[in-house]
């Protein structure tokens, strides 16, 4: 794509001009925006860039490894992988209120990021994958209502606290343009086309209290669900699809024994921007097949339900 390759060159020049010989750090989330920003900046200034990936232990199955491998091995970008799972899960222990959980995660994320930046000896610039819609509307996801529905977790508060100048090479772009730029930069299609994933990760897909055991069960169910969605060719038709592990146990029967295990809810929605959404109309055979696989393959789940709530009145995530 000619336009994107010209844009890529223009942005590389701009980044070089802005940064000079300065040092830049970039917080990676595993999402498309911060990834595209990091690859572009690395192309401009090479190892003057260091990425920090704060792993809160709330990512999906194998997700952190995939992110880290892609950046380190495929793109050769210096990357600090901070395994902060113990810290996050420790502070989340016994917390079941949705807003409390979100606030704990947001606070810890900033603390860990700052501490790592300090260890690196600081930097002159903080890189962010801010998009045009984020620039024109500060609340880009929940939007609209003046009441806080959910406190969103992002790194919005970081720049002021850390006294660094910002490098935001995606500020003029919309999401589809960021994807096109990512392809132009050689980021794999499987990564570019991924569904959005919330900053607080699986914590908000495990309503109520979180334990490592519950997260493990949720990860397995979620991986099976997404595998079935991909295999049936529906992934790109869906805005987001994920499993939720309910804090409810129900009675079941397996073989000749009684079971008493958790309920797993499956969610899938279509949407243009995440502000409103319709539940996705799966074929019942698909749902039945997926439920059977989850119950057979995941220990700890003996019942699967499908969420048929649209947004509004529901939100996409359960917390």
Choose between 16 and 311: whose C-beta lies nearer to ligand XMP. Answer: 311
Integer Cα distance of 219 and 214 in angstroms: 9
Tell me if 29 is assigned to a ligand binding site: yes
**CA 94, chain centre distance (Å):** 24
Cβ 25 to ligand XMP, closest distance in Å? 19
CB of 280 to ligand XMP, least distance (A): 14
Residues that bind ligand XMP (CB under 6 A): 141-142, 150, 152-154, 196, 198-200, 240, 274, 311, 315-317
| Contacting residues for 259 by C-beta, under 8 A, at least 6 apart | 251, 252, 253, 302
Measured from the CB atom, is 249 or 315 closer to ligand XMP?
Answer: 315
Shortest separation between residue 44's beta carbon and ligand XMP, angstroms: 25
Is 140 within 8 Å of 101 (Cβ atoms)? no
Helices 2-19 & 175-184, crossing angle to 10 degrees? 90
Question: Is 35 one of the annotated binding-site residues?
Answer: yes
CB 276, min distance to ligand XMP, A: 9
Closer Cβ to ligand XMP, 252 or 314, answer by number: 314
Q: Least CB distance from residue 148 to ligand XMP, whole Å?
A: 11
Supply the minimum distance, in Å, between the C-beta of residue 311 and ligand XMP.
5
What lies within 8 Å, CB to CB, of 54 at 6+ separation is 27, 82, 84, 109, 112, 113, 116
Which residue, 99 or 283, is less far from ligand XMP as judged by CB? 99
Please compute Rg for the chain using Cα positions: 20
Between 197 and 262, name the residue whose CB sits nearer to ligand XMP: 197
- The nearest distance, CB 35 to ligand XMP, in angstroms, is 14
Please tell me whether 190 is known to bind a ligand: no
Q: For residue 281, what are the β-bridge partners?
A: none
Query: Among residues 217, 91, 199, which one has the least CA distance to residue 155?
Result: 199
Kindly tell me which of 44 and 104 has the beta carbon lying closer to ligand XMP: 104
Specify the residue, 182 or 200, whose C-beta has the smaller distance to ligand XMP: 200
- The answer to whether 129 is annotated as binding is no
Question: How far is 24 from 126, CA to CA, in rounded Å?
Answer: 6
Q: Which residues are annotated as a binding site?
A: 29-35
| Binding-site residues for ATP | 29-35
């Amino acid at each position: 794509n000619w336009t994107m390759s010209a844009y890529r060159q223009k942005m590389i020049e701009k980044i070089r001009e802005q940064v000079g010989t300065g040092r830049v750090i970039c917080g990676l989330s595993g999402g498309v925006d911060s990834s595209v920003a990091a690859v572009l900046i690395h192309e401009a200034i090479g190892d003057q860039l260091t990425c920090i990936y704060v792993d809160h232990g709330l990512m999906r199955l194998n997700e952190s490894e995939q992110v880290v491998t892609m950046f380190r091995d495929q793109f050769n970008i210096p990357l600090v992988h901070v395994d902060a799972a113990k810290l996050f899960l420790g502070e989340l222990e016994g917390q079941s209120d949705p807003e409390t959980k979100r606030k704990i995660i947001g606070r810890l994320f900033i603390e860990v990021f700052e501490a790592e930046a300090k260890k690196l000896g600081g930097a002159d610039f903080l890189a962010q994958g801010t998009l045009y819609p984020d620039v024109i509307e500060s609340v880009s996801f929940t939007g609209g209502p003046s009441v806080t529905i959910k406190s969103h977790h992002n790194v919005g508060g970081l720049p002021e606290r850390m006294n660094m100048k910002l490098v935001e090479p995606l500020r003029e772009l919309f999401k589809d343009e960021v994807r096109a730029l990512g392809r132009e930069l050689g980021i794999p299609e499987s990564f570019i086309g991924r569904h959005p994933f919330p900053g607080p990760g699986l914590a908000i897909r495990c309503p109520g209290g979180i334990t490592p055991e519950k997260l493990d069960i949720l990860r397995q169910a979620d991986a099976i669900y997404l595998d079935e969605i991909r295999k049936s060719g529906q992934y790109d038709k869906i805005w987001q699809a994920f499993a939720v592990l309910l804090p409810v146990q129900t009675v079941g029967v397996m073989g000749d024994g009684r079971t008493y295990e958790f309920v797993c809810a499956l969610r899938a929605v279509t949407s243009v921007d995440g502000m409103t959404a319709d539940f996705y109309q799966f074929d019942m055979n698909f749902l039945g097949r997926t439920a059977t696989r989850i119950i057979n393959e995941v220990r700890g789940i003996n019942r699967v339900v499908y969420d048929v709530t649209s947004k509004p009145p529901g939100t996409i995530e359960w917390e």
